[in-house]
Amino acid sequence: SLAALLPGRALSADKPLVLGFSQVGAESEWRTANTESIKSAAKDAGITLKFSDAQQKQENQIKAIRAFIAQKVDVIAFSPVVESGWETVLREAKAAKIPVVLTDRAVNAKDDSLYVTFIGSDFTEEGRKAGRWLVDKMKGNAGPINIVELQGTVGSAPAIDRKKGFEEIIAADPKFKIIRSQTGDFTRAKGKEVMEAFLKAEGKKINVLYAHNDDMAIGAIQAIEEAGMKPAQDITIISIDGVKGAFEAMIAGKLNVSVECSPLLGPQLMAIIKDIKAGKSVPKRIVTEEGIFPMEVAAKEFPKRKY
Ligand code: GYE
């Protein structure tokens, strides 16, 4: 039979595609929504999903990818926790002829033949949007404007790029000064802890908090309240993602603005996987479209939010 001539090849056309997906973890509201989007989109598309949670550890992602290669899945997709250190495992996938799709976060591998496409947001632009909002808000304020920054996971694409984009914009005016900058690992607990330390060190000198995601901002809001200060009044707070928790904080008057970053990448990912398996050529980069939501529009926008 033909099957005997082509060992290991799937011959029946209606056999469902198998996708191995290695997720970063469950560190934030964004991530939970992203996981949900991928799981439900796979189901809707009739794609069999093997899902693995790396708990924010690169070594776990590398293990998961190797397991997917051993299981001969049709496509591997993953959201790389950090940017560097992927060449070896991606070469293994390439040698096994398994296409790889990056979702959400980028890698900094020089050889871009190691993945087919990258679907996700432009994090540098998100940082610029945050910066532009602040420049506009502080128009007419002579400064100095002292900013504390809660960075995302060290070495991750969103932490690197959101910092870069924001700094690029505020650099135009020397009245803006980042006086403290530290990672809060994209979690509420760490965001609160690091903000407590910022408040202890700088106290009332802090004018602005720039948090690389909403969860860290929400943790920091607690720290600010516990220190007897008013979030969004005594300290202007800017964050990124636009999750429901951020809208609730804005409606409560505790967060000034959230830059949107959509986690709903599932349907696009499944469509691309089908195109790849059908032999269609796909773009190397697919950028998610997104906006910005200041607190003034939060109540009106809230009912429309999907994550
Ligand atoms: O902003 C943050 C999450 O990679 C865009 O990861 C994502 C980021 C998101 O933990 O909340």
- Residues of the chain with pLDDT > 70, as a percent, come to 95
Which atom of ligand 1 lies at the shortest distance from residue 121's CA? Answer: 5
Query: Which residue is closest in CA terms to ligand 1's atom 8?
Result: 158
- Residue environment code for 231-241, b if the CB has 16+ CB neighbours within 10 A, otherwise e: bbeebbbbbbb
Which atom of ligand 1 lies at the shortest distance from residue 263's CA? Answer: 5
End-to-end CA distance of the chain: 50
Task: For residue 158, report the distance from its CA to the centre of ligand 1, in Å.
Answer: 7
Q: What pLDDT is recorded for position 7?
A: 47
Which one-letter amino acid corresponds to residue 289?
E
Please state the pTM of the whole predicted model.
Answer: 0.94
Task: For residue 14, report the distance from its CA to the centre of ligand 1, in Å.
Answer: 35
DSSP assignment of 68-124 equals HHHTT-SEEEE--SSSSS-HHHHHHHHHTT--EEEESS----S-GGG-SEEEE--HH
pLDDT at 50 over 70: yes
Strand ranges (DSSP E) for the chain? 18-23, 48-53, 75-78, 100-103, 117-120, 145-151, 176-183, 208-211, 236-241, 257-260, 285-287, 292-294
Lowest mean pLDDT among 13-17, 60-64, 66-70: 13-17
Pocket of ligand 1, candidates 213, 218, 307: which has the most ligand atoms within 8 Å of its Cβ, to mutate? 213
* Local confidence band at 3 (pLDDT 50, 70, 90 cut-offs): very low
Per-residue pLDDT, averaged over 228-241, amounts to: 98
Per-residue pLDDT of 248-304, as tens digits, reads 999 999 999 999 999 999 999 999 999 999 999 999 999 999 999 999 999 999 999
**214-226 and 244-251 helices, crossing angle to 10°:** 40
Are the CB atoms for 165 and 172 separated by under 8 Å? no
Per-residue pLDDT, averaged over 130-135, amounts to: 98
Task: For residue 154, report the distance from its CA to the centre of ligand 1, in Å.
Answer: 12
Pocket of ligand 1, candidates 186, 216, 218, 258: which has the most ligand atoms within 8 Å of its Cβ, to mutate? 186
Q: What pLDDT is recorded for position 10?
A: 47
Task: For residue 15, report the distance from its CA to the centre of ligand 1, in Å.
Answer: 34
Task: For residue 34, report the distance from its CA to the centre of ligand 1, in Å.
Answer: 9
Task: For residue 201, report the distance from its CA to the centre of ligand 1, in Å.
Answer: 27
Question: Sign of dihedral through CA atoms 225, 227, 231, 234?
Answer: positive
Q: Could you identify the residue written with the tokens 């802890």? A: 193
Which atom of ligand 1 lies at the shortest distance from residue 25's CA? Answer: 10
pLDDT at 24 over 80: yes
Backbone angles phi, psi at 183, to 5 degrees: -80, 145
Ligand 1 shell residues, CB under 6 Å: 27-28, 30-31, 104-105, 158, 186, 213, 215, 240-241, 261
Which one-letter amino acid corresponds to residue 19?
L
CA distances in angstroms from 95 to 19, 90, 92, 118, 289, listed in the order given: 18, 9, 5, 20, 34
Per-residue pLDDT of 182-220, as tens digits, reads 999 999 999 999 999 999 999 999 999 999 999 999 999
CA angle 50, 6, 95 (to 5 degrees): 55
Which atom of ligand 1 lies at the shortest distance from residue 186's CA? Answer: 10
* Local confidence band at 13 (pLDDT 50, 70, 90 cut-offs): low
Which atom of ligand 1 lies at the shortest distance from residue 105's CA? Answer: 4
Task: For residue 213, report the distance from its CA to the centre of ligand 1, in Å.
Answer: 7
Question: Can you tell me the ipTM of this complex?
Answer: 0.98
Task: For residue 156, report the distance from its CA to the centre of ligand 1, in Å.
Answer: 9
Which atom of ligand 1 lies at the shortest distance from residue 104's CA? Answer: 4
